[in-house]
Amino acid sequence: MNQLKLLSDVIPSDWKIETLDKLTETIFVGTDPVGGKESHSLIKTDYRIIQSSPIFDGFLDVSKVGYIDEEIYNSLISVSLKDSDVLLNQLGNGVTFARSCIVPRKMLPAIITRSVGCIRCNSEKLDPWFLNAFLILPSTKKYIESFDSGSSRRAIDGSKMRQFLIPHPKKIDVQKSIGKFYKTILDKIEVNNKINGELEAMAKLIYDYWFVQFDFPFDFAQVKPSANGKPYKSSGGKMIFNEELKREIPNGWDVKELKSIAECIMGQSPKGSSYNQDGIGMPLLNGPADYENGALKGRTYTTEPKRTCQKDDLVLCIRATIGNLVYSEQEFCLGRGVAAVRPNDSKMSELIHYYLLQEIERFKIQATGSIIRGITKSDLTDSKCFIPHDELIQSFHNKVKPMFDNIRVNKKENQKLAELRDWLLPMLMNGQVTVGEAKEQLGMVAEEGEKYQ
- Domain map (residue ranges) of the chain: 2-169, 171-222+389-453, 254-387
Q: How confident is the model at residue 423 (pLDDT cuts 50, 70, 90)?
A: confident
The CATH number that domain 254-387 falls under is 3.90.220.20
CA–CA dist 162, 235 (Å, integer): 67
Beta-carbon count within 10 A of 299 CB:
12
Report the number of secondary-structure helices (H) and strands (E) in the chain. 10, 31
Cis peptide bond prior to 217, omega within 30° of 0: no
Q: Contact 387/250 with Cβ under 8 angstroms?
A: no
* pTM, two decimal places: 0.83
What pLDDT, in 10s, does the model give residues 294-304? Answer: 899 888 999 99
* Within this chain, domains 2-169 and 254-387 share the same CATH topology: yes
What letter does residue 27 receive in the DSSP assignment? E
Interstrand relation of 47-50 and 110-112 (parallel, antiparallel or unpaired): parallel
Q: Residue 3 has what pLDDT?
A: 45
Q: Which of 30-39, 98-107, 230-239 has the lowest mean pLDDT?
A: 30-39
What pLDDT, in 10s, does the model give residues 425-447? Answer: 888 877 777 777 777 777 665 55
3-state secondary structure of 301: strand
Environment class of 67 (CB within 10 Å of its CB; exposed 0-12, middle 13-18, buried 19+): middle
Crossing angle for the helix pair 172-207 and 435-452, nearest 10 degrees? 10
- Exposure string of 354-389, with b = 16+ CB inside 10 Å and e = fewer, is bbbeebbeebeeebeeeeebbbeeebbbebebbbbb
92: left (phi over 0), alpha (psi -120 to 50) or beta: left
CATH of 2-169, one of 3.90.220.20, 3.90.79.10, 3.40.50.720, 3.20.20.70: 3.90.220.20
Instruction: Compute CA distances 201 → 67, 70, 207, 208, 301, whole Å.
Output: 24, 32, 10, 10, 35
Q: What is the mean pLDDT of the chain?
A: 88
What pLDDT, in 10s, does the model give residues 231-277? Answer: 999 999 999 999 988 899 999 999 999 999 999 999 999 999 999 98
